[in-house]
Amino acid sequence: MSTDRYVSPLSERYASKEMQYIFSPDMKFRTWRKLWIALAETEMELGLSQNGKPVITREQIDELKAHAEDINYDVAKAREKEVRHDVMSHVYAYGQQCPKAAGIIHLGATSCYVGDNTDIIVMREALKLVKKKLVNVIAELAKFADTYKNLPTLAFTHFQPAQPTTVGKRATLWAQEFCLDLEDLDYVLSTLKLLGSKGTTGTQASFLELFDGDQETIDKIDPMIAKKMGFEKCYPVSGQTYSRKVDTRAGIAASAHKMSNDIRLLQHLKEVEEPFEKSQIGSSAMAYKRNPMRSERIASLSRFVMVDALNPAITSATQWFERTLDDSANKRLSIPEAFLAIDGILDLCLNVVDGLVVYDKVITKRLMSELPFMATENIMMDAVKMGGNRQELHEKIRELSMIAGANVKREGKDNNLLELIAEDPAFNMSLEDLQKTMDPSKYVGRAPLQVEKFLQEIVNPILEENKDLLGVKAEINV
């Protein structure tokens, strides 16, 4: 690795080799050449000719195919310094390797034919990898939710103690957001189309000239190119580029950020903890620390993606008429980096969820310290059944709760609400009677059943449909 120039952390620390290849020069320029071959083949198959003589021959196509993979980068780089145009530099470099076909490379096309179509192809491959990892995150969360569906835990609203839930039910909230992201991703994949070859302003004027105004033949160009490149369709209309609206998305980052924040807070409470390796160092100064650094990294990268999503949105909104080039430099940064970051986020999510540690005794201790407050409605109803006045009992519980709360917060003592209620004759209940109501499972509502139904009705069908994608184990570099 070179140490005398900037290297992106996304490549060095976060993104997988698979995602890095998708956005590599090899992937990009080999796709350019495949597109040039598809165009030339289409023109040949549609009978492009001059004075009855074919303009493109099988020999030329074979020559292009022979050099589809071995990009002569040095020639292209030297040419670009001279002409300041990346596409024409690669047309020239390809022509140097294919002298017989040099004159028909890029025939009738504009730069966006290779640039935009390649962007679509690359994004589709990246989305497939994202989907694969997303499905595995959902699978890991499903296992976790099922394992802990019956473990009661204190819920929080406003990060204040609230009616209990279960550890597994909380995990279904994270999983549900990722399931929604998968729906969005599937929709994008199913509707993604190629730009096709529509010329400088999207009118296909160059093909009218090439095919002598034969409209029926020209109508076949885009469908044939799409099929050769593995797509069903091309966008029906465009300027020079595909709509930049296609580039906008950031839902997974929001879901990952939400989950990672919850885990960080739970780790502070010592209830749930992300994986911490034997030789891992939490702090350079405080040797005892076990910081949730992976969850923090998920949050950090997620914020980057959510902010980066403004780039495609603003780019889409500010395009002029049929084409403007102020999208190019921005897209070279914003699109690959968003995918590399999402890739890193999902690897971290897989790693964290797969290794989550649950401290059930800490969870139960905190829940039991607050449960007397949660149980007061049940206690009041039991006391009413034994002849008490509901309104009077409600006021007494309010007063006694204030006293118990003050003991906890001001005196640092344990919650003694049950003892205070037992001492009050209005309730006619012994401490033993009251303690029998302190079964946490009585206060989690339908949480365990909700987990079962969610897994059975929502998650399991997703996993069954995508079973060929399962089995991914994340590798993180740091």
Own/partner pairs, 391-396, CB within 8 angstroms, 24+ separation? 392/426, 393/426, 393/427, 396/424, 396/426, 396/427
CA torsion 328-329-333-334 (nearest 10°) is -50
Greatest Cα pair distance, the chain, in angstroms, is 111
CA torsion 28-32-38-44 (nearest 10°) is -170
**Residues whose CB is less than 8 angstroms from the CB of residue 346 and which lie 6 or more positions away in sequence, other chains included:** 130, 133, 134, 137, 252, 256, 474
Phi, psi of 49 (to 5 degrees): -150, 165
Active site residue 158: yes
Question: In whole angstroms, what is the distance from residue 329 CA to residue 90 CA?
Answer: 18
35 contacts 117 by C-beta, under 8 angstroms: yes
The separation between CA 286 and the C-alpha centre of its own chain, rounded to angstroms, equals: 34
Question: In whole angstroms, what is the distance from residue 251 CA to residue 266 CA?
Answer: 23
Helix (H) or strand (E) holding 156: strand 152-157
Tokens for 83, please give them.
Answer: 């002409």
131 contacts 455 by C-beta, under 8 angstroms: no
Cα-based distances in Å from 205 to 202, 211, 358: 8, 10, 65
302 contacts 254 by C-beta, under 8 angstroms: yes
Helix (H) or strand (E) holding 165: strand 160-166
CA nearest neighbour of 451 among 170, 157, 179, 181: 170
Tell the burial category of 368 from Cβ atoms under 10 Å away from its Cβ (0-12, 13-18, 19+): middle
The amino acid sitting at 417 is L
* Residue of 2, 257, 283, 401 marked active site: 283
46 contacts 211 by C-beta, under 8 angstroms: yes
Question: In whole angstroms, what is the distance from residue 254 CA to residue 269 CA?
Answer: 23
CA torsion 456-460-462-465 (nearest 10°) is -130
Question: In whole angstroms, what is the distance from residue 376 CA to residue 379 CA?
Answer: 5
Active site residue 238: no
Tokens for 221, please give them.
Answer: 């160009």
Helix (H) or strand (E) holding 155: strand 152-157
Question: In whole angstroms, what is the distance from residue 415 CA to residue 400 CA?
Answer: 11
* Residue of 158, 190, 279, 284 marked active site: 158
Catalytic residues: 158, 283
